């Protein structure tokens, strides 16, 4: 490669590496801190978290962003090898870069499809990766390279050269071992089983006066929907449009549960949560034709059938669904429903169509609001797309209780 071509590829690879590393850091924060909010979560359509937490955010348990870090580092290593390696390997390295960038381009095209078409979400950092990978692909195809049919013999030749260079061989081994170690170390998303280990809810006294004042101004400026979303009556009514296969719905269930418990203890009956189904599953939700959650309708059916048995049974089914989001299908759902409530698969199948009609009523209410993503919360008419950090969700309830004149 020419010196100018190496410089351009190095510049693009460095920019992509920074973006992929930032995405990996955010992914790690989302796994370890349920209240973490990414700086690039600007709106419902410009939102990194939705993509990171979707089924497209990981492959075999490894974050796609971490794969991007490895991809860009390989590009930089190949450029370095072109600079320091023997002249006879230069065309081989150009071929390796072409093959490697073709693989990268294929992945980013798929991820772009999943992001824009399936999820309807744009991730800023991912966009940087898409652009840099495409740029590297275009540049690697502009120079002379070893013919593709000679790839096996080129690899064997360069491996022999690499073994004869102790420093290069050592760096390659360290890089490969480090990549595997980081992928193995990266924590899995916290299972919803940790719902029983919810973090403590910050008390009002922990809120600084500045935070409270700023949030009060924000809250008082919010418009309130006029739609009648529920027949439940209480000083504070919170409606959650929910999808049992949605990771963010599971997370908000986790972090908000102790908040509801606190207010039920201090203000019995004054704060009511109403869950309405809005599965992002085209099998029952026509407003979500590209919805990514193919088992969400069956999950909602299971909860409603469990509720006919009892509230405790419905709660157990909800917990199980949140714990097993990645493996949900009709077979696993009906098996769990039988084990947890005694409702057998035959009864599920017989009643499914009727329950789906009930779910479609919730969907129609959500479409009229409109609900654009799950979860969407409505607190006394104030619409919150995705919810709030726990301390501010807590404060919003407190402000609504004050507004209603409710005392402990």
pLDDT at residue 240 greater than cutoff 80: yes
Same-domain pairing of 288 and 216: yes
Distance (Å, rounded) from C-alpha 249 to C-alpha 374? 7
Mean pLDDT on 143-166: 77
Confidence band, pLDDT 50/70/90 cuts, at residue 328: very high
The structure tokens listed for 83 are 């600079």
Same-domain pairing of 222 and 290: yes
User: Domain of 40: which CATH number?
Assistant: 1.20.1440.130
Domain count, the chain: 2
3-class state of residue 314 by DSSP: helix
Q: Which helix (H) or strand (E) element contains residue 323?
A: helix 311-323
Same-domain pairing of 173 and 214: no
Same-domain pairing of 168 and 23: yes
Of 152, 170, 185, the one marking the end of a domain is: 185
Distance (Å, rounded) from C-alpha 361 to C-alpha 356? 9
Distance (Å, rounded) from C-alpha 50 to C-alpha 115? 9
The answer to pTM > 0.75 is no
Same-domain pairing of 162 and 262: no
pLDDT tens sequence across 381-405: 999 988 888 888 999 999 999 999 9
Same-domain pairing of 251 and 382: yes
Domain assignment of residue 99, yes or no: yes
In 3D, which of 198, 318, 322, 313 has the Cα closest to residue 257?
A: 198
Residue 113 CA, chain-centre distance (Å), reads: 16
Q: Which residue has the higher pLDDT, 338 or 194?
A: 338
Confidence band, pLDDT 50/70/90 cuts, at residue 31: low
**How high is the pLDDT of residue 198?**
36
Confidence band, pLDDT 50/70/90 cuts, at residue 33: low
Q: The domain containing residue 222 runs over which residues?
A: 192-403
Preceding peptide of 259 cis, ω within 30° = no
Same-domain pairing of 162 and 196: no
Q: Which helix (H) or strand (E) element contains residue 392?
A: helix 390-403
Of 138, 165, 185, the one marking the end of a domain is: 185
Domain assignment of residue 324, yes or no: yes
Distance (Å, rounded) from C-alpha 288 to C-alpha 183? 33
In 3D, which of 180, 177, 100, 168 has the Cα closest to residue 140?
A: 100
Of 185, 200, 216, the one marking the end of a domain is: 185
Mean pLDDT on 170-178: 80
Mean pLDDT on 260-283: 94
Distance (Å, rounded) from C-alpha 65 to C-alpha 271? 40
Percent of the chain with pLDDT over 70: 89
Distance (Å, rounded) from C-alpha 215 to C-alpha 220? 8
Domain assignment of residue 279, yes or no: yes
The structure tokens listed for 69 are 């870090």
Position of tokens 């000679």? 150
pLDDT at residue 303 greater than cutoff 50: yes
Confidence band, pLDDT 50/70/90 cuts, at residue 191: very low
Confidence band, pLDDT 50/70/90 cuts, at residue 205: very low
Instruction: Return the C-alpha torsion angle 94, 76, 65, 51, nearest 10.
Output: -60
Q: Which helix (H) or strand (E) element contains residue 50?
A: helix 48-52
3-class state of residue 53 by DSSP: coil
Same-domain pairing of 132 and 164: yes
Position of tokens 């759902």? 333
Confidence band, pLDDT 50/70/90 cuts, at residue 159: confident
Confidence band, pLDDT 50/70/90 cuts, at residue 103: very high
The answer to which of 201-215, 332-346, 355-369 has the lowest mean pLDDT is 201-215
Mean pLDDT on 48-64: 76
Q: Spell out the residues 6+ positions from residue 347 whose beta carbon is closer than 8 angstroms to its own.
A: 305
Mean pLDDT on 77-102: 81
Distance (Å, rounded) from C-alpha 297 to C-alpha 278? 9
pLDDT at residue 241 greater than cutoff 60: yes
List alpha helices for 85-227, DSSP H: 90-113, 124-140, 151-163, 166-185, 209-220
Distance (Å, rounded) from C-alpha 138 to C-alpha 143? 10
Please measure the distance between the N-terminal and C-terminal CA atoms of the chain and give it in whole angstroms: 74
Q: Which residue has the higher pLDDT, 288 or 187?
A: 288
Handedness of CA 200, 203, 207, 213 (dihedral sign): positive
Distance (Å, rounded) from C-alpha 18 to C-alpha 40? 15
Q: Spell out the residues 6+ positions from residue 51 whose beta carbon is closer than 8 angstroms to its own.
A: 57, 114, 115, 119, 121, 123, 126
Distance (Å, rounded) from C-alpha 404 to C-alpha 408? 12
Mean pLDDT on 210-227: 84
Domain assignment of residue 408, yes or no: no
pLDDT at residue 320 greater than cutoff 60: yes
pLDDT at residue 329 greater than cutoff 90: yes
Same-domain pairing of 335 and 245: yes
The structure tokens listed for 154 are 């080129």
Same-domain pairing of 170 and 256: no
Distance (Å, rounded) from C-alpha 285 to C-alpha 249? 17
Confidence band, pLDDT 50/70/90 cuts, at residue 234: very high
User: Domain of 285: which CATH number?
Assistant: 3.40.30.10
Confidence band, pLDDT 50/70/90 cuts, at residue 165: confident
**How high is the pLDDT of residue 197?**
33
Domain assignment of residue 109, yes or no: yes
Same-domain pairing of 180 and 197: no
Same-domain pairing of 181 and 294: no
The structure tokens listed for 340 are 């947890």
Q: State the Cα angle at 71 between 66 and 73, rounded to 5°.
A: 95
Is residue 59 within 8 Å of 67, Cβ to Cβ? yes
């Amino acid at each position: 490669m020419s010196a100018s071509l190496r410089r351009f590829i190095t510049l693009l690879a460095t920019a992509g590496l920074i973006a992929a590393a930032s995405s990996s850091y955010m992914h790690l924060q989302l796994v370890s801190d349920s209240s973490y909010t990414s700086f690039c979560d600007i709106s419902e359509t410009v939102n990194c978290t939705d993509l990171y937490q979707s089924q497209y955010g990981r492959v075999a348990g490894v974050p796609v962003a971490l794969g991007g870090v490895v991809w860009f580092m390989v590009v930089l290593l190949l450029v370095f090898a072109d600079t320091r390696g023997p002249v006879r390997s230069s065309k081989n390295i150009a071929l390796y870069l072409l093959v490697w960038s073709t693989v990268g381009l294929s992945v980013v095209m798929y991820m772009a499809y999943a992001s824009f078409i399936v999820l309807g979400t744009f991730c800023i950092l991912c966009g940087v990766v898409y652009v840099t990978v495409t740029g590297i692909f275009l540049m690697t195809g502009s120079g002379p390279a070893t013919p593709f049919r000679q790839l096996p013999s080129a690899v064997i030749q360069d491996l022999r050269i690499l073994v004869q260079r102790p420093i290069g061989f050592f760096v390659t081994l360290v890089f490969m071992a480090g990549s595997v170690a980081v992928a193995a170390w990266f924590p899995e998303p916290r299972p919803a089983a940790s719902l029983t280990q919810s973090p403590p809810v910050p008390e009002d006294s922990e809120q600084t006066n500045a935070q409270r004042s700023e949030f009060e101004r924000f809250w008082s400026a919010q418009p309130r929907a006029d739609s009648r979303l529920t027949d439940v009556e209480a000083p504070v009514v919170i409606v959650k449009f929910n999808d049992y296969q949605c990771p963010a719905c599971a997370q908000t269930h986790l972090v908000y549960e102790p908040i509801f418990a606190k207010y039920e203890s201090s203000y019995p009956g004054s704060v009511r949560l109403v869950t309405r189904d809005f599965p992002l599953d085209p099998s029952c939700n026509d407003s979500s034709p590209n919805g990514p959650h193919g088992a969400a309708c069956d999950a909602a059916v299971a909860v409603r059938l469990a509720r006919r048995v009892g509230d405790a049974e419905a709660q157990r089914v909800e917990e199980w669904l949140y714990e097993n989001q990645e493996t949900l299908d009709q077979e696993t759902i009906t098996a769990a429903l039988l084990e947890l409530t005694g409702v057998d698969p035959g009864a599920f199948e017989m009643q499914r169509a009727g329950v789906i009609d009930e779910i479609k009523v919730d969907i129609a209410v959500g479409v009229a609001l409109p609900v654009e993503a799950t979860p969407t919360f409505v607190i006394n008419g104030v619409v919150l797309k995705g919810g709030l950090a726990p301390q501010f969700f807590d404060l919003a309830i407190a402000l609504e209780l004050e507004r209603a004149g409710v005392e402990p």
